[in-house]
A and B are shown apart, each in its own frame.
Chain A
Amino acid sequence: MTSLKPFTCADLFKFNKVNFDPLTETYGLSFYMTYMARWPDYFKKIENTKGEVVGYIMGKAEGMGENWHGHVTCLTVAEQYRRQGLAAKLMRNLEETSEHKRCYFVDLFVRVTNCKAIRMYESLGYIVYRTVLDYYSGDPDENAYDMRKALSRDVHRKSVIPLKHPVRPEEIE
């Protein structure tokens, strides 16, 4: 009972129920506005029948040459709307956008402890490409998995050959 729509500025007043989730950060306005100004087609929301925001995805296209890829910056769905495949719907949309932009792959970072999310991404065809040490700052810092899915342009699926060794955040391109 939901609809996928572009995220608009006015949604910043309505995304609170989603952002109450402890793993969903509320950023300063500039952060969202920058994404909207640069990559509006990568910023989508899921709306319920009352017009409330119940989930959203924020991403971008970046990189050079064979590293030109779509990136998922944030994906979140309100608790009440989980178990309905909405995160997958948002991810598919971002992948389609990246296909249109002729990206080679889509990548994302996820906490190594976030098993539910990792399982979901795996079910969508993502693989753990590498481990990024102490990617999430906190007490203590936490490692991240850099997960990837190759798109049609990466015919030989070079982008998803896993790295054998973990990397540090500063080594990420």
Chain B
Amino acid sequence: MNGSSNLDNWDFVRSSREDGRKLRPLYELIDSGNNKRVVSEADKILKKLPDFTCAKVFKALALIRLKHEEEARDILEPIKKQVQIDEAVIQGLSYCYEELNEPTTICKILEAACKKAPSKGLLTQCFLAQIRTDKYNKQYLTALSLYKTYNDPSYFGWAMTSLLTEAERSKDSSTRSISLLLAERMLTKFIGEENEKGRTVQENILILYVETLSKQKKWEEVLKTLEEHGGYPQPSSEWAYDVFYEVFTEALQELGKKSELFEYLKSCFMKNLDEYQLIQRIINVFKVDEEGKSWIKTLLDDLRINKPSYVVAIADLQFNYAVCQEDDSKNQKPEWLQRVQEDLKMIINYGAEKPSFYSDVGNYLSSDLVSMDIKLEFLEGLNPPISSLNMNGSVEIGVLHVYNSIGKIIRDVNYELFHRLILPDTTPIMRMERAQRCLDKYFAGESSNSCLKSKSDTEKEDLRTKEADYHDQFLVIAAGTLIAKYDGSESEIQRFFNGVLKEVRASPSGANPKAKKVKKKTKTVEIEMKNLNLEEKDTKLPYSLADQDYLIMTAILIMEFGLQRCPFNHSLRILLIKAYSRLGAIKQALRVANGLDIKHVQWDSLGYLVIWRALHSGAYFDARNIFETAEGMYSEYKKEGMDHIIAAFKYERFSMIPEFLRFRDMLLNSTQHGLIKVEKRLQEYSWAGPSQVLPVAKGVFRDMQFEEGDGIFNEDNRDFSVLQCGEMEGERLEKVKKATGDVQEVVLVARNGLLVILTELVLFVNDDEEDEEAFRKMEKRIEHGIQGFKGNMEGVIRKVGSFEEENQVPSFDGFWPPTQVKYWELGCVDTLVELLRGLKKAMEINEEEEKNGSADGALVEMGKVVGDFWTKVKLRLDENVKTIGLLTMGKCLEDIHHIIETLKFSCILVHLCLKLLRKKRRTFIKPNGLTRSSTKRKKKAATDSTENFIEKKHYFETLRESFTSLRDLITEQIMKNSPCSSIFKWEDENVQKSWAGLIGNELRGQIFSKHWNKVQSNIVESYRDQLGEFVVGINTSLKFISGVENGH
């Protein structure tokens, strides 16, 4: 404390002591959450002591918690304007403004207090408050002030970290370089002084110093520091190895000290031969020139002879591929081919029994750099000797697989994975054959596994703790193989599957030789088939299984069976989610997804698996719950995220701070976050009643920040690696992720445009302010909104087109092509834009035109827009219904969602137009020359007149008709004439017979018989539930219309 404020401080202490006694009941009431009592008790105190600031602050805090924020602000405003130094008052104010989400105000209060009466406590509080505002320079100054006053090196670390953060996050290059230079000088001085005093400099300060130097590319100085303080060439025990390794190798590389770097990395690798990043780094750094290549080659030659291993073989392969990619001609050279062949042999030798084998080596075998001969040789080498497989992969009759070790099971799984990669299936029958073979292997694994387990394992086995059953992977391959083709377009699928059942029956032995017994009965089966008409469309039955249905249904059966046996196999679960989603049975997909237990941060990285399909397929209630939970995660993090940064400062983990800040950006700016925010609110609108629209808009306005530049949602944190369980390999999945990520960003902007204009309109028409200028502004806003919505939706379509053309993004069901293409094709965007234009037109109508009935005309025009939309989409729906099947159901459901949503927004827009016209009439009747009472009378007359034409004309008639007609179509046609009809019953026996040639004994006995009926009824139930939710949505809108017509 400085001398000048002594008297003040004494007063402060004295008053605090007295205050403490008076305030204790308030503290206790606040703590117990009894906010109403806090207000009444504070009032009692304030009656006696009207200037008691602390009591006022407590009252304000209680009011905030009672949601009386405006009242609280009125109390706080004058307090805020005065400089406060009473710590209790400051603390109370901090709570208030924290809850009001105004961190900047807290900073200002603390900064003023520190200026007037600096103390360690206040300065520390001020520094911590500044962290929340991202004002790094202010942070730096406060920390420096703390360091200078109290000479604690921790505060120096705070100051330097703030300065470096300022440098890192500043967009201005001069600020960046000045901050770095300043940090360097201060750190040099600090380290020098510590050395002079004979004190060891803390590691975290040295790391900051090295970081400062490396950011300025002062690599010589970096090395010198590491030599002097880091125990060069190996890190001393004080240094984190990772930090040392990264900085040291980067410095050597940047300084061109190649041989030194090579020797360093080599020595690290030789000590740690299973650490792949070391050899990977050697290859990446040194493959660029001939000298480097020769060093790598010498090293790898030596290792291959003296220390042959899995890592060495893969490293050699990686090196050879890298060299070959640079120079295509090399892959034809015999010595290159021979080396690759040797590597592959070594890889099999050391790694074929590793569960990660396929993941480690798959990329090399999928590459075109090696010939098919080499790939087949690899496959042959992998083919386990105990297996009964021949090169075609078919199962020989009567030979039972026996696995004498878990390793052999893993090896066979790897074999199947590579077989599928190298010899992909070109026909549905080949797919079914592979699936059948894998099922046989699964059951063989099942029986071998029980023998392989020790007695203690089987006795104590707990489903959650048992060692992974590697033969489960056979089920994943079987199911993945069966459903992979369904990612293609409709026509591709049709072509692929067309006539497959006939082909099976026509083949002399059927696709599956094991099914011979059943084949004998083909004639009988066909007769039954005809009677049941499972093969061809029938007029008696509303829906029959088509050729293209059977593989996906079989896959689902296998997966349901598999999940019952191994409920924690996430690959099966994800494939099953995909399969149900493909059929549009999203409720089933959600049921299966529950088992993944997606939570917390996973909503950002994994939520995409279910959330958008749920929303677009009519699972509205589930989607709403997910929105709620996911948004809760984001807002909780938004609230608490800064606490972690503060914790890192407190624990002096300075190197974590930039990372925490980057993570904050990644999470809060994620596209998923943006989409969840926007779609949740659009849903709120579309489900709101007439009187709820305004509260929704107020909520949106409060929650969403509309300021320009806010919320750049461009981070894509979706984890697509979990989808690598079918045929789609990493590179193709990456393409899908990139394409969908880019498109989503634009979709978000477009949908946000719709949300913003809707919100602005609702707030405008409900605002009593009557001002012509406001009308003109609103007209411009509408045009701006149309551009934002339609312009960006056009951008989406363009982007999809260019991706398809240039990047050849593979179809991936539910992801690519995105559903927004359909939204566009259905005319939803155009319809909403036309309605918005109608609103704008209604605004432009002058008094004269209104007398001529133009207002009425505008509304009629809007009704016509809706009518045209419905006519167009009805045709499409009728077509959908005619061809509806398991594989087209999902698309039909998505169409219905887009239509319902558009009609719901149309309702709101027509309603807004009516309200707008009322407001307009009020606004444009000038009070000039009229008495107040006559103005009122005239306004009332005008309003009444508007009300009258509303009642007379029934502007919602078209909407009502559209909704009713859509509801009829859902309940009368889709529910009764589709796979969701209650008549959609295929007895499992009959299905088995119809697919006789493809179904082996195990598949029939263990899987079909036990699961068919359940799966079928689940799908039917899912469709009916989803359609049911559509109907609820329609009914809500019909109520909306009735509500408006009844004067709400």
Q: Do A and B come from one complex?
A: yes
Q: What residues make up the interface of A, taking CB atoms closer than 8 Å to B?
A: 1-6, 8-10, 12-14, 16-17, 19-23, 26-30, 33-34, 36-38, 40-41, 47-50, 52, 54, 79-84, 89, 100, 111, 113-117
Known: A13-B666, A20-B570, A38-B651. A83 touches B721 (CB 8 A): no
Q: 8 Å CB contacts to A: which residues of B466-501?
A: 466-468
- Complex CA–CA separation, A111 to B460 (angstroms): 12
Cross-chain contact of A14 among B240, B276, B651, B719 (Cβ < 8 A): B719
Query: Could you tell me if B360 and A1 are in contact, using CB atoms closer than 8 angstroms?
Result: yes
- B51 touches A (CB below 8 Å): no
Q: What residues make up the interface of B, taking CB atoms closer than 8 Å to A?
A: 237, 240, 242, 274-278, 280, 310-311, 314, 351, 354-356, 359-360, 406, 410, 456-457, 460, 462-468, 568, 570, 596-597, 599-602, 604-606, 633, 636-637, 640-641, 643-645, 647-648, 651, 653, 655-656, 659-660, 662-663, 666, 717, 719, 721-722, 730
- Complex CA–CA separation, A37 to B722 (angstroms): 28
Known: A13-B717, A26-B600, A34-B647. A3 touches B465 (CB 8 A): no
Cross-chain contact of B360 among A19, A47, A49 (Cβ < 8 A): A49
Please name 22 pairs of A and B residues whose Cβ atoms are closer than 8 Å in the assembled complex, sorted by A: A9-B660, A9-B666, A12-B663, A13-B719, A14-B719, A17-B570, A36-B644, A36-B648, A36-B659, A37-B653, A37-B660, A48-B356, A49-B276, A49-B360, A50-B721, A82-B355, A83-B410, A84-B356, A89-B274, A111-B465, A113-B465, A116-B465
- Complex CA–CA separation, A8 to B663 (angstroms): 9
Q: Which residues of A contact B276 (CB under 8 A)?
A: 1-3, 49
Known: A22-B464, A37-B647, A111-B465. 18 other contacts (CB 8 A): A1-B311, A3-B275, A3-B276, A9-B666, A12-B601, A13-B601, A13-B604, A16-B719, A17-B570, A23-B465, A26-B600, A28-B636, A29-B640, A34-B644, A34-B647, A37-B656, A54-B356, A81-B356
Known: A9-B659, A16-B605, A34-B644. A80 touches B460 (CB 8 A): no
Query: Could you tell me if A84 and B568 are in contact, using CB atoms closer than 8 angstroms?
Result: no
Query: Could you tell me if B605 and A13 are in contact, using CB atoms closer than 8 angstroms?
Result: yes
Q: Which residues of A contact B464 (CB under 8 A)?
A: 22-23
- Complex CA–CA separation, A36 to B663 (angstroms): 12
Cross-chain contact of A29 among B351, B600, B656 (Cβ < 8 A): B600
Query: Could you tell me if A79 and B457 are in contact, using CB atoms closer than 8 angstroms?
Result: no
Query: Could you tell me if B644 and A37 are in contact, using CB atoms closer than 8 angstroms?
Result: yes
In chain A, what residue has the closest Cβ to B604? Answer: A13
Q: Which residues of B contact A113 (CB under 8 A)?
A: 460, 462, 465
Cross-chain contact of B467 among A5, A29, A116 (Cβ < 8 A): A116
- Complex CA–CA separation, A113 to B276 (angstroms): 34
In chain A, what residue has the closest Cβ to B315? Answer: A1
- Complex CA–CA separation, A2 to B460 (angstroms): 32
Cross-chain contact of B356 among A1, A12, A20, A114 (Cβ < 8 A): A1
- Complex CA–CA separation, A21 to B145 (angstroms): 50
Cross-chain contact of B640 among A30, A47, A54, A83 (Cβ < 8 A): A30
- Complex CA–CA separation, A16 to B605 (angstroms): 8
In the assembled complex, the CB of A7 is this many whole angstroms from the nearest CB of chain B, namely 11
Q: Across chains A and B, which 9 residue pairs bring their CB atoms closest together, nearest first? A: A9-B663, A3-B277, A20-B570, A33-B644, A37-B647, A13-B717, A13-B605, A37-B648, A79-B468
Q: Which residues of B contact A89 (CB under 8 A)?
A: 274
Query: Could you tell me if B606 and A16 are in contact, using CB atoms closer than 8 angstroms?
Result: yes
Query: Could you tell me if A30 and B659 are in contact, using CB atoms closer than 8 angstroms?
Result: no
Q: Which residues of B contact A3 (CB under 8 A)?
A: 275-278, 280
In chain B, what residue has the closest Cβ to A12? Answer: B601
Cross-chain contact of B660 among A28, A33, A54, A82 (Cβ < 8 A): A33
- Complex CA–CA separation, A83 to B357 (angstroms): 12
In the assembled complex, the CB of A172 is this many whole angstroms from the nearest CB of chain B, namely 22
Q: Which residues of B contact A49 (CB under 8 A)?
A: 276, 280, 314, 360
Cross-chain contact of A100 among B237, B460, B648 (Cβ < 8 A): B237
In the assembled complex, the CB of B347 is this many whole angstroms from the nearest CB of chain A, namely 10
Cross-chain contact of B359 among A16, A20, A23, A48 (Cβ < 8 A): A48
In chain B, what residue has the closest Cβ to A3? Answer: B277
Query: Could you tell me if B604 and A26 are in contact, using CB atoms closer than 8 angstroms?
Result: no
- Complex CA–CA separation, A36 to B647 (angstroms): 10
- Complex CA–CA separation, A30 to B643 (angstroms): 9
- Complex CA–CA separation, A48 to B277 (angstroms): 9
In chain A, what residue has the closest Cβ to B462? Answer: A113
In chain A, what residue has the closest Cβ to B644? Answer: A33
Q: Which residues of A contact B600 (CB under 8 A)?
A: 26-29
Q: Which residues of B contact A50 (CB under 8 A)?
A: 359, 721, 730
Q: Which residues of A contact B356 (CB under 8 A)?
A: 1, 48, 54, 80-81, 84
Q: Which residues of A contact B237 (CB under 8 A)?
A: 100
- Complex CA–CA separation, A117 to B666 (angstroms): 35
- Complex CA–CA separation, A16 to B597 (angstroms): 11
Query: Could you tell me if A26 and B359 are in contact, using CB atoms closer than 8 angstroms?
Result: no
Query: Could you tell me if B602 and A38 are in contact, using CB atoms closer than 8 angstroms?
Result: no
In chain A, what residue has the closest Cβ to B721? Answer: A52
In chain A, what residue has the closest Cβ to B463? Answer: A22
In the assembled complex, the CB of A82 is this many whole angstroms from the nearest CB of chain B, namely 6
Known: A30-B644, A84-B354, A116-B465. A16 touches B602 (CB 8 A): yes
Query: Could you tell me if A4 and B275 are in contact, using CB atoms closer than 8 angstroms?
Result: yes
- Complex CA–CA separation, A15 to B136 (angstroms): 32
Q: Which residues of A contact B730 (CB under 8 A)?
A: 50
